[in-house]
Amino acid sequence: MNSDDAQKRIGYLRRELREHNRLYYIEAMPRISDREYDALYHELEELEAQFPALVTPDSPTQRVGGAPIEGFESVRHAVPMMSLGNTYDKSELVAFDQRVKRLIPGIPYSYVLEPKIDGVALSLRYEDGLLVRAATRGDGQIGDDVTANIKTIPSIPMRLAGAHPPAVLEARGEVYMRKDGFMTINRQREEAGLAPFANPRNAAAGSLKQLDPRIVAQRPLDVVFYAVGELDGIAFPTHARLLEGLRALGLRAGVHYWKEDSIEGILSALDTLEGMRHDFPYEMDGGVIKINERDLYETLGATAKSPRWAVAYKYEAERAETILKEITVQVGRTGVLTPVAELEPVTVAGSTIRRATLHNEDEIKRKDIRIGDHVYVEKAGEVIPAVVGVNESARTGDETLFEMPKACPVCNGPVVRNEGEVALRCENLLCPAQIKNWVRHFASRGAMDIEGLGDVLVEQLVDSGIVQSPADLFTLTREQLSGLERMGDKSAANILAALEASRQRDFWRKLAALGIPHVGTRCAQILEESFDNIHVLMEATPEQLEAIRDVGPVVAESIHTFLHNERNRKIIEELIAAGVTFARNKPAVAAEGPFTGKTVVLTGGLARCSRDEAAEMIRARGGKTSSSVSKNTDYVVAGENAGSKYDKAVQLNIPILDEEAFFRMLEAEGAP
């Protein structure tokens, strides 16, 4: 291939990859599989390696930086990045509206309400459609250049969509860590003996401060845009049009907003938004109210720090005070000892909390938490209960200090604190607690989905010495099971049948079940698309693994290390010998039906199956599932307590199926 032909092919590949990125990250409507995407990406990589003069900064291959940077350069914002004034009192919003009326007497205006994202403010500068710089807010005038790190966030386009992009567009928004990703990364950090992040905002801020973009690429970061700085060649008459315009340019702007003609309408919308507080993928701690008509902004003006045309209303933190009765210590799957607070039951964010993580010994000392204290409990990331502080004024002098055990509380084996870690770790690989947690993970719904293999049975199997690894599950006999407490012949037969069925689970489920650090459901599915079987995966080098989409250096090294551990390889071989096929299943040819080629969003609880099971049924019939509702969604399946996705479907006039209608459509195509 000569240079001209290469340039044409490279241009085509870049356009295709940009479009598929937009469909995947902005529209939530992918058209090709990850495997097909990877093939296009690798072809582009090879051509650029062959013709290095054709490499451009906006190429999809340049998204993740290579070498670590030495430090951040300072950037002066063309238009200052102001912060909003905050209030917790609705009467102050009425006063805000009255001030607006005094500043623009007789001029009609409306409002827009958006969720207030608890993240890190960011400004992206595009020139002629090309991303040239990303900067943090800093002091509002000068921020840090974090372009190399921002390029690692897949939903941020390196080139704007559209044939005629504006000469200059500064898009401003919030970088956040997804709540589900926050839980995962904290679990991984604790398993690795590292200090967990306090909350998603701290995790996002810490990620952007990393000097190695390859580390940032492993963090589950995303972004929502809601404002602009300098503009040239484009204008937005209203804030609502601004949000729509940013989306049209390929930027992820908020789809949840309310346009109201009065402050009374905004006050009502704030109540609606609060009811959706836990439905967003990010931490949402209030609402931002803005004048919709942007031509009024100059007249309304600003104070030294805040605009007079916008204000933030913050909801009260969902925290409660209770008594810390005891501190127990759990031993995790990797041997990490984690202190857990045993609490007087208390309600937080609609849930009754009896236990909360204390993370590690250093955290307990830093917060000076003592047994018997009155403590404050919140849900970190609105999901994980955590002790966030102590009411020292309630102390009586009877409280006692806590010390971590000198030996494993389960097996009494030695515990160590490795260099660079904050956690103690049990060194005994045959520790019953580690084995139990591994077996529980192996049998869980997101992995092998072995029905009936619950906590009580796992406890008995490990305590009796019958099971010392997941491979031992497949050597169980009816006699062994029947001899356990509360296990009759029928129950034993059901367990054996469930184990038999699990042998033929999808390859990705088996990979997820192995418990490879950093490899969850999504990563396991990506690996299944890239490797036919476990033996091919075992032969892959870290460099080959890292070349796979969404698998960075940390994950690649983790997979390689796990699969080259002698004990792990022995257990995998034992599983294969027991009939567990670690290979990609041949896809069944699905008959044409109502779900073929359709995108379905599941929301709320289903009575007849879990959402994961419903998603598999849809996939088995040639459909796809998505986590968000967009104009490209074909159906929304709404179960009990359906939330904002239901409202979005109504807004977009997307067909909504209740559980009964959903199963009628499934049955029309045959049994699962």
* CATH number (domain holding residue 33): 1.10.287.610
Give the whole-angstrom CA distance, residue 515 versus residue 121. 35
* Residue 498 in domain: yes
* Residue 67 in domain: no
Q: Which tens digits make up the pLDDT trace of 486-523?
A: 888 888 999 999 999 999 898 999 999 998 888 887 78
Range of the domain at 463: 432-577
Give the number of other Cβ atoms within 10 Å of residue 10's Cβ.
Answer: 21
Q: Which tens digits make up the pLDDT trace of 81-127?
A: 988 888 888 999 999 999 999 999 999 999 999 999 988 999 999 99
Spatial CB neighbours of 574, under 8 Å, sequence gap ≥ 6: 469, 471
Q: What is the mean predicted confidence (pLDDT) over 340-350?
A: 87
* Residue 515 in domain: yes
Are 155 and 213 part of one and the same domain? yes
Are 307 and 220 part of one and the same domain? yes
Are 498 and 605 part of one and the same domain? no
Lowest mean pLDDT among 68-77, 162-171, 230-239, 429-438: 68-77
* CATH number (domain holding residue 167): 3.30.470.30
Q: What is the mean predicted confidence (pLDDT) over 539-545?
A: 92
Per the CB < 8 A criterion, the answer to whether 184 and 520 are in contact is: yes
Q: Could you tell me the pTM of the whole model?
A: 0.60
Q: Does the annotation mark 259 as catalytic?
A: no
Q: Which residue type sits at 420?
A: G
Q: Are strands 624-626 and 656-657 parallel, antiparallel or unpaired?
A: unpaired
Are 618 and 497 part of one and the same domain? no
* Residue 572 in domain: yes
Conformation bin of residue 129: beta by default, left when phi > 0, alpha when psi is -120 to 50: left
pLDDT tier for residue 70 given thresholds of 50, 70 and 90: low
Give the whole-angstrom CA distance, residue 620 versus residue 666. 10
Lowest mean pLDDT among 22-36, 326-340, 487-501: 22-36
Are 566 and 647 part of one and the same domain? no
Tokens of 469: 């690894």
Are 276 and 330 part of one and the same domain? no
Predicted pLDDT at 570:
93
Predicted pLDDT at 286:
92
Burial of 379 (0-12, 13-18, 19+ CB in 10 A): buried
Are 551 and 614 part of one and the same domain? no
**Pairwise pLDDT comparison (264 vs 653), residue with the higher score:** 264
Give the whole-angstrom CA distance, residue 182 versus residue 196. 10
Q: Which tens digits make up the pLDDT trace of 567-596?
A: 899 999 999 999 999 998 765 444 567 788
* CATH number (domain holding residue 371): 2.40.50.140
Domain boundary among the residues 269, 289, 314 is at 314
Q: Which among 635, 645, 182 has a CA at the least distance from the CA of 380?
A: 182
Lowest mean pLDDT among 248-252, 290-294, 594-598: 594-598
Are 264 and 135 part of one and the same domain? yes
Distance set, CA 490 to CA 3, 462, 495 (Å): 71, 21, 9
* Residue 619 in domain: yes
Please provide the size of the chain in residues. Answer: 672
* CATH number (domain holding residue 443): 1.10.150.20
3-state SS class at 36: helix
Catalytic residue among 8, 90, 116, 290: 116
Give the whole-angstrom CA distance, residue 468 versus residue 475. 11
Are 458 and 528 part of one and the same domain? yes
Indicate the number of domains in the chain. Answer: 5
* Residue 372 in domain: yes
Q: Which among 76, 85, 19, 12 has a CA at the least distance from the CA of 47?
A: 12
Lowest mean pLDDT among 98-112, 271-285, 288-302: 271-285
Torsion of CA 128, 129, 130, 134, to 10 degrees: 110
Predicted pLDDT at 63:
62
Name the one residue in this structure whose structure tokens are 């940013």.
246
Are 558 and 635 part of one and the same domain? no
* β-sheet bridge partners, residue 638: 603
Domain boundary among the residues 288, 314, 340 is at 314
pLDDT(321) > 70: yes
pLDDT(382) > 60: no
Give the whole-angstrom CA distance, residue 397 versus residue 395. 6
Give the whole-angstrom CA distance, residue 339 versus residue 325. 13
Are 122 and 263 part of one and the same domain? yes
Q: What is the mean predicted confidence (pLDDT) over 431-453?
A: 91
* Residue 593 in domain: no
Torsion of CA 441, 442, 443, 446, to 10 degrees: 70
Q: What is the mean predicted confidence (pLDDT) over 413-423?
A: 85
Q: Which tens digits make up the pLDDT trace of 209-248?
A: 888 888 888 888 999 999 999 999 999 999 999 999 999 9
Tokens of 275: 């009811």
Q: What is the mean predicted confidence (pLDDT) over 328-334?
A: 90
Are 259 and 111 part of one and the same domain? yes
pLDDT(345) > 80: yes
Predicted pLDDT at 588:
46
pLDDT(672) > 50: no
* Residue 591 in domain: no
Predicted pLDDT at 627:
66
